[in-house]
Amino acid sequence: MKDDPILDVLNDLLNYDEILACMVARLNMISVMPDQERFDPNVMQLWDIIKRAMDDVFGVIREYSQAGLGEIEFRLQDYEVLFYVFPDTENALVAIVPALANKGLIEIEMENTRREILDLISEQESQTNTITT
Amino acid sequence: MDEFGGGINEIESKRISRVTTGIERLDEILHGGFPNQSVTLVSGTPGSGKTIMCFHYLLDGLKKGEKCLFLTSDERIENILKQANELGFDFNSWVNDGKLKFMHLDLEKSNIHKEMGDEINTGQYSRVVLDSLTPIAEVPVMVSGGVHEVIPADGATSIKKYSAGSIPATRSHIRRIMSILSKSNVTAMVTSEVLEGSRSLSRDTISEFLVDGILLMDLDTTMDRRKLTVRKMRATKHTLKPQDITITEGGIKFL
């Protein structure tokens, strides 16, 4: 997808060495995702199981987002999957990082990215007219 | 994640007679379109663009001189025409020429299978759209007798005991509808609504197993993103990767 500011933000996040993969997703749908070629190949090998586990977590996010759920993370083999929920939505910024990564810096980058995306969503809302039947 | 339908020779995939979808990029993904005389399920949450997909498909056929049928049960025909018109699909002249027929299936009647079958078999249609299967599938049916009679196939006498609304009766009912479409000479498109967050490919959870192809339309209202995924297409080597789409005046566009 060309000219997508949210994709640009995710591509910037992916520039950090310890972010092995990232995306904006919701239950059963990856909404915005950088080119998978940029993801760590080891993560891709585990993708099927990560995807299934992600969908289960999104079921929890769906239930508790309105109650103020902010973040969820789980460890799977040598990786941690971080979910930064967009408030009051079913969507989250998802990143896969090494299990032994320095989480302090990653948390700051994730929070900055979440805020940037929230700003972009607000901008989009004021500009977009949707047409459906 | 970019997977391909396994075991299908690419040359074989291209050799099959195809019916174009009305969306150029989708035709490219499907090596020319839907397999001729197939039934494709278009499933998605409300507002995901299923009906617009049907408009593209019908208009494409009409422009090629084909006769088309639009079956509906939950929308007034005037409303469908108005919605189509607002998106740039002007079907009025085709309706007036008798090339396109909109048919309302009255779910209060007990003979919807016969009504549908007779129209398809006698109308010499090339393309048929059923939008949507969901309300029809949810009509309480009895396998034998009652409001909606589903006539069992020869030798299938045991299913006569199924009561109205039971899962086997509903399955027979949906099978009957799919059978009408697949045994005729038409290439059909059937829509089905799925609930937000559901992992099923149709509301009835049965029809996805009875069709030749499945197009899944996803909608993320928060991020204002739409995706179209070819989940299954008989005799077609295709990507399983969700494609970014948008809906504007003029219909569905790939990004």
Q: Do B222 and A90 touch (CB under 8 A)?
A: yes
Residues 6 or more apart whose Cβ sits within 8 Å of residue B147: B110, B139, B140, B141, B164
Measured in angstroms, the CA of A5 and the nearest CA of chain B are apart by 11
Q: Please indicate whether, in this complex, the C-beta atoms of B218 and A28 are within 8 angstroms of each other.
A: yes
CB-based contact A31 B223, cutoff 8 Å: yes
Q: Per-residue pLDDT averaged across B114-123, rounded?
A: 92
Average pLDDT over residues B162-179: 77
- Distance (Å) from the alpha carbon of A99 to chain B's nearest alpha carbon: 23
Chain segment B184-200, per-residue pLDDT in tens: 899 999 999 998 877 78
Q: CB-side exposure of B229: number of CA atoms within 13 Å?
A: 21
Report the C-alpha gap between B132 and B129 in whole angstroms: 9
CB contact under 8 A, B247 and A131: yes
Give the pLDDT mean for B143-148.
52
Q: Please give the interface size between A and B, counted as residue pairs whose CB atoms are below 8 Å apart.
A: 63
Tens of pLDDT, residue by residue over A63-104, are 999 999 999 999 999 999 999 999 999 999 999 999 999 899
Question: Over the range A49-86, which residues count as b (16 or more CB within 10 Å of their CB) and which as e?
Answer: ebeeebbebbeebbeebeeebeebeeeeeebbbbbbbb
**Contact by Cβ (8 Å): B29, B243:** yes
Q: Which segment of A111-115, B41-45, B112-116 scores lowest on mean pLDDT?
A: B112-116
Strand partners, A93: A24, A84
Residue A17: what residue type?
A: D
The Cα–Cα gap between B115 and B149 comes to 13
For residue A85, the distance in angstroms to the closest alpha carbon of chain B comes to 12
Of the candidates A76, A71, A69, A25, the residue with the CA atom closest to the CA atom of residue A49:
A76
Position A43, amino acid: V
What is the value of pTM for the model shown? Answer: 0.84
The residue type at B146: G
| Mutation choice for B interface testing from A10, A31, A33 by most B CBs within 10 A | A31
B237 near B13, Cβ under 8 Å?
Answer: yes
Pull the structure tokens for residue B85: 């018109």
Sign of the C-alpha dihedral, residues B50, B51, B52, B55?
Answer: positive
Give the A-side interface with B, CB within 8 Å.
1-2, 6, 24, 26-32, 36, 44, 47, 55, 59, 62, 86, 89-91, 121, 124-125, 128, 130-133
Record: contact B2-A36, CB cut-off 8 A: yes
| pLDDT value of position B120 | 95
Judging by beta carbons within 10 Å of its beta carbon (0-12, 13-18, 19+), is residue B79 exposed, middle or buried? exposed
The CA angle B141-B145-B148, to the nearest 5 degrees, is 30
Instruction: State the burial class of residue B68 (Cβ atoms within 10 Å of its Cβ: 0-12, 13-18, 19+).
Output: buried
Q: Would you give the DSSP letter of residue B131? A: S
Q: Take residue A3 and report the two structure tokens written for it.
A: 């000219």
pLDDT surpassing 90 at residue B107:
no
Residue A93 CB-density burial (10 A; 0-12 exposed, 13-18 middle, 19+ buried): buried
Predicted pLDDT of residue B16: 86
Contact check, Cβ <8 Å, A133/B51: yes
What is the arithmetic mean of pLDDT over A27-34?
A: 92
Q: Are A29 and B218 in contact (CB under 8 A)?
A: yes
The helix/strand/coil state of B149 is strand
What's CA A23's distance to the chain center, in Å?
4
Cα separation, B241 vs B161, whole angstroms: 44
In chain A, what are the helix, strand and coil shares in percent, each to the nearest 5? 45, 25, 30
pLDDT digits (tens, 9 = 90+) for B213-254: 999 999 998 888 999 999 999 999 999 999 999 999 899 999
- Asked if B114 and B150 touch (Cβ cutoff 8 Å), the reply is no
Substitution target in A29, A46, A96 with the highest count of B β-carbons within 10 Å is A29
Q: Is the pLDDT of residue B155 over 50?
A: no
Interface test with chain A among B25, B222, B248, by most A beta carbons within 10 Å: B222
Residue of A nearest to B223 (CA): A121
- How far apart CA B59 and CA B99 sit, in angstroms, is 11
Chain B residues lying within 8 Å of A2, measured CB to CB: 255
